[in-house]
Chain A
Amino acid sequence: MLLVIVAMIFVVSFFSDDYIFTVLFFANLFAIGAASWDILAGYAGQLSFGNVVFYGIGGYSIGLLSAYFSGKQSSLLGGGSSAYSFLANPIISICVGIGISMGLAVLIGFAAIRLRGPYLAIVTFMLGIILQELIVIYGKYTGGEFGVSIPDAFANARFSFYVSLIAMAVSVLALILITGSRYGLYFKAIKDDEVQAQATGINPTKYKLMAFAVSAAFTSLAGSIYVLSYGIVNYDVFSYTTSLQWIEMSVIGGPGTIVGSVIGSYFIQILVELLRISQTYSLIIFAVVFIIVIRFFPQGLLGFIKRVLRWK
């Protein structure tokens, strides 16, 4: 499985086209988003429809910290004081974003994740919408609908791509290691039979929250990289369509397998570019494919490939 990732690195560095770099850049970021969703939903069985919230938090951490503390001019907000300029450092900003995301995950998760039912799904969904509104309400501080731009975005598409590739490789690797560890076992046990898991001595709330926090952390990282590359962030970054895309990628690629999400992400991103039809048509097609896959192919693409390989 790691070979898949490594192989991609090789194949892809031969391309020199900026356009392709952009496509793959998003494929990488969304792979992180999809894989993060998968560890929460595919492994621990907790459905979240609003993981994009953490993506946005990661993005705005970069945007706002840079706007306020970098000491340099950014579009709508003043450069702020450069006294705390270390805060604008990308690495620090990323960590802040991750920290906030994980904290939020635990807080919200504590309310919604203890109960069985659609609560987490709906609460996370609502949170995305709420955050969008809050950004507009406090537009004076957040840049509102227009967003915030950061002065030191990545130089070019190629650089962005490499950063995203490294981030993706690191994230996916980490996620695979977690799912292969005792925690992965706990997640699966909770998902398969929470009652029996409890009777075995597993604290379901603790590990569900753990899965959620991990999911939030990596999603936040992806969001941060997105903004670092594009240089601008606005409230669209909280759109629930992104959440759905990750769910689609994970489900179509293979839920319950981290690698499946990566495959799903690349598959869908590339397909979208190839087809190049209008936005809405492609959205509809993917919605239909999504429904069909859930209904008939619970194992996704990866499961299908595995089955085919088994026949040979």
Chain B
Amino acid sequence: MSTNDVLTISGLTKRFGGVTAVNDLSFVLTKGEMVGIVGPNGAGKTTIFNLITGFLRKDSGSIFFDGKEISNESPYKISLSGISRTFQQVRSFQGLTVLETASLPIVIRHKPVDRARLLELLGSVGLSGKENVMTSALTYVEAKSLEIVKSIVIDPKLLLLDEPFGGLNVHEIEIMTSVIRRQRDEGRTCIIIEHRLAELFALVRRLIVVDFGQKIADGDPQEVVKRENVIEAYIGKEAKKE
């Protein structure tokens, strides 16, 4: 394990009753890498995020972040140690304003709030002028953008995005892509779960394919996508149904 490794996952396994959601998963993430995780629905992708961020307990395996085993930590401690995430279904604080939500991660870490920088960030996702609006009044894409801002505002060492393009129209996807690209350019280590392969390929240099909780491919997106087993995972399911 070199000091450039941000995240090292080995043999990670999680079972729910009779179903194995994550099966002996292993991969290493180095600093600055932006990786995409794809796979058919129900393949266990969000479960991986939940395991990394402490919302689920693993059954076996290990998760090393920045050199430390984090798989038994509470979610809030993992967040404080530098892992930020967004959720597949946008979660927001109905009773807080946009600015309050965005500054919350800073406040809880007892750091001073740089209002100008916050406003700039909010502007970059299309939320300028809305600092004092209640999150409950935001549109879906605005809430999604706010969630992204909230996750990057404290400069996390690892960013986990769960379907950032979900539910967005073409124009909104453009904005989201530029936000994520900016993160990549700034050297943010990031894992993105997505279904929209075209948009994802524009951003990531490495693709991990997961099916039934198992890693079935890991490499260059263009190359991975042509592999037999990957195609079968996606299409084979349709064929098997008939």
Answer yes or no: A and B touching, Cβ < 8 Å: yes
Write the residues of chain A forming the contact surface with B, with a CB cutoff of 8 angstroms: 182, 185-186, 188-189, 191-193, 195-204, 256
Q: Does B100 contact A (CB under 8 A)?
A: yes
**Chain A residues closer than 8 Å to B109, beta-carbon distance:** 201
- Tell me which residues from 18 to 76 in chain B have a Cβ below 8 Å from any Cβ of chain A: 53, 55, 74-76
Where the two chains meet, the residues of B that have a C-beta atom closer than 8 Å to any C-beta of A are: 53, 55, 74-77, 79-80, 84-85, 87, 91-96, 100, 104-105, 107-109, 150, 154
Q: By the criterion CB–CB under 8 Å, are B92 and A203 in contact?
A: no
Sample of 6 more A-B contacts, CB < 8 Å, known A189-B93, A189-B104: A188-B95, A192-B92, A198-B76, A199-B53, A201-B108, A201-B109
The CA of A197 and the CA of B92, in the complex, are separated in Å by 9
B75 contacts across to A, CB distance below 8 A:
195, 198-199
A193 touches B93 (CB 8 A): yes
Shortest Cβ distance from B56 into chain A, in angstroms? 12
Contacts of B79 in A (CB 8 A): 198-201
Question: In the complex, A256→B94 CA distance in Å?
Answer: 13
User: Are A185 and B107 CB-contacts (below 8 A) given A193-B92, A201-B76, A202-B76?
Assistant: yes
The answer to whether residues A191 and B76 also contact, given A185-B104, A186-B108, A199-B85 and a CB cut-off of 8 A, is no
Cα-based distance from A196 to B104 in the complex (angstroms) = 11
Determine whether the beta carbon of A195 is less than 8 Å from that of B91. Answer: yes
Give the shortest distance, in Å, between A209 (CB) and chain B (any CB). 14
Would you give 8 A-B contacts (Cβ < 8 Å), ordered by A? A182-B107, A185-B107, A192-B94, A193-B93, A193-B94, A195-B75, A198-B74, A199-B91
Residue of B nearest to A191 (CB): B95
Report the Cα distance A256→B108, complex, angstroms.
21
Which residues of B lie under 8 Å from residue A198 when comparing CB positions?
55, 74-76, 79
Please state if B105 and A201 are interface contacts (CB–CB under 8 Å): yes
CB distance from A204 to the nearest CB of B (A): 7
Which chain B positions have C-beta within 8 A of A192?
92-96
Residues of A with C-beta under 8 A to B53: 199
B91 lies within 8 A of A193 (CB): yes
Q: A201-B80, A203-B74, A204-B76 are in contact. Are A196 and B108 (CB under 8 A)?
A: no
Q: Contacts A185-B100, A195-B55, A196-B87; is A202 near B108 (CB within 8 Å)?
A: yes
